[in-house]
Amino acid sequence: MDDGSLIQSAYMDYQSTTPLDERVLAAMMPYLTTKFGNPHSAEHRFGWEAEVALDVAREQVAKVVGAQAETITFLSGATEANNLALKGVLDVWGEKQPHLITVATEHKCVLEAAVSWERRGFNVTFLPVGRNGLIDLKQLKASITSETALVSVMAVNNEIGVIHPLHEIGALCREKEVLFHTDAAQAYGKIPIAVDKMNIDFMSISAHKIYGPKGIGALYRRRSHKTALEPQMLGGGQEGGLRAGTQAPALVAGFGKAAQICGQEMAQEEGRLRTMMIRLIAGLKKAAPGMIINGDTGSRWIGNLNVCFPGLDGDRLFADVRGLAVSSGAACASATTGPSYVLEAIGLSDSEAKSSLRLGIGRQTTDGEIDYAISKISEAVAKQGGCSKEGFTK
């Protein structure tokens, strides 16, 4: 076990981003140096070398979810993938089926893309979630009509880590003959996903959430006439005409390697993180018996812990845990003021949301960092006299 007493800081914001794996960097380096060609240059070996990098990575990314290589479109990240999926479906099917269903706790880019449907005069249903952060499948079923084109439900929530039932949602969408999109930025490479068994039509993926480089991601798109999309980026016809612009072979190669590693090490990593998370929760509960875990305690990604310390001053709490890289919510919403909209959606008051911390652990997390986090948070809680469940919203 690492000696936590020697640690002066700890990174526990793995939902925001992950450090680049050294093996990923090694895979990228040739395409940053000697193999610098444009993959769209079909007349010489420099272009051929770059194109091979894309072909290999496409296979690597697809294999993790049981997909075919040709179903993977490389983009700048999950935000672009979410926008392409929602807006692309709207442009093709909106006039015939002008209804979208999504969830109030989705990533900001999904919610904003949904709002764009409304701006164009189409209909959007924003499903609420329960105190556990999960949707009601009966309510989803009741919301689907003959005009519904797409259901978009996040696989793993980026703030509270809950896992939505993709199997059940996919089966319902197939039964109702509507398209199913999932933002899997926090799930891909971490939990088992099978696009065919889960009836997933579109899936958004981000490399920097799986120890790959920033600036690259992908959209999985099932090949069928129903999954036709209108491109949102026009130009030279790259990526099968779905996303124009010169591809970045170094980023793509890194993405592919990161995906391959996650696929190979998923089960082992899940077990290691589970052991660490159990110890982290136990240590925090010992120091703060009134601590509440936000979101379902059973159906959740084990690398995410979002906890509320009822009665504590949130600003003081964050000030007292400096040196510990944690957050109060999603990094994408950090420019906005006020408490997390996700925590509000599960029923927390403003004060409860502000006294909540999101801690994320991952591949580089050590036992010493777990001990450091327990120590820092315990000290911060003790400075305010502890916390209590009294007054917590049920």
- The DSSP-derived string for 212-235 is --TT-EEEEE--SGGG----SS-S
Q: What's the average model confidence in pLDDT over 289-295?
A: 95
> Could you give the 3-state DSSP secondary structure of residue 100?
strand
At 277 the pLDDT is 98
Residue entry with tokens 């069928």 = 224
pLDDT at 268 over 90: yes
At 9 the pLDDT is 85
> Could you give the 3-state DSSP secondary structure of residue 123?
strand
d(CA 262, CA 250): 18
Phi, psi at residue 41, to the nearest 5°?
-90, 100
Percentage of residues in the chain with pLDDT exceeding 70? 94
Q: What's the average model confidence in pLDDT over 181-197?
A: 98
d(CA 74, CA 242): 9
316-364 pLDDT, tens digit per residue, is 999 999 889 998 754 444 445 578 999 999 999 999 999 999 999 999 9
* Contacts by residues 205-208 (CB-CB < 8 Å, ≥ 24 positions apart): 205/61, 205/78, 205/81, 206/77, 206/78, 206/81, 207/77, 207/251, 207/254, 207/255, 207/258, 207/259, 208/17, 208/18, 208/77
Alpha-carbon distances of 131 from 26, 152, 296, 325, 352, rounded to whole Å: 44, 20, 8, 26, 13
Rg over CA atoms, the chain:
22
Q: What's the average model confidence in pLDDT over 187-197?
A: 98
Phi, psi at residue 150, to the nearest 5°?
-150, 140
Q: What's the average model confidence in pLDDT over 87-102?
A: 94
At 391 the pLDDT is 43
At 291 the pLDDT is 95
At 6 the pLDDT is 62
pLDDT at 394 over 80: no
Q: What's the average model confidence in pLDDT over 82-100?
A: 95
- Residue 243, classified by CB atoms within 10 Å of its CB into exposed (0-12), middle (13-18) or buried (19+), is buried
| pTM of structure | 0.94
Structure tokens that stand for 29 in this block = 């380096």
214-265 pLDDT, tens digit per residue, is 999 999 999 998 889 998 888 888 888 899 898 999 999 999 999 999 999 9
Asked whether the CA dihedral 363, 170, 77, 83 is positive or negative, the reply is: negative
d(CA 15, CA 328): 12
H or E, element range at 325:
strand 324-325
d(CA 154, CA 160): 12
119-176 pLDDT, tens digit per residue, is 999 999 999 999 999 999 999 999 999 999 999 999 999 999 999 999 999 999 999 9
22-33 pLDDT, tens digit per residue, is 999 999 999 999
Confidence of residue 393 (pLDDT cuts 50, 70, 90): very low
Which residue, 152, 150, 160, is CA-closest to 357?
160
**Please, what is the average pLDDT of the chain?**
93
d(CA 58, CA 266): 19
Q: What residues are labeled active site?
A: 332
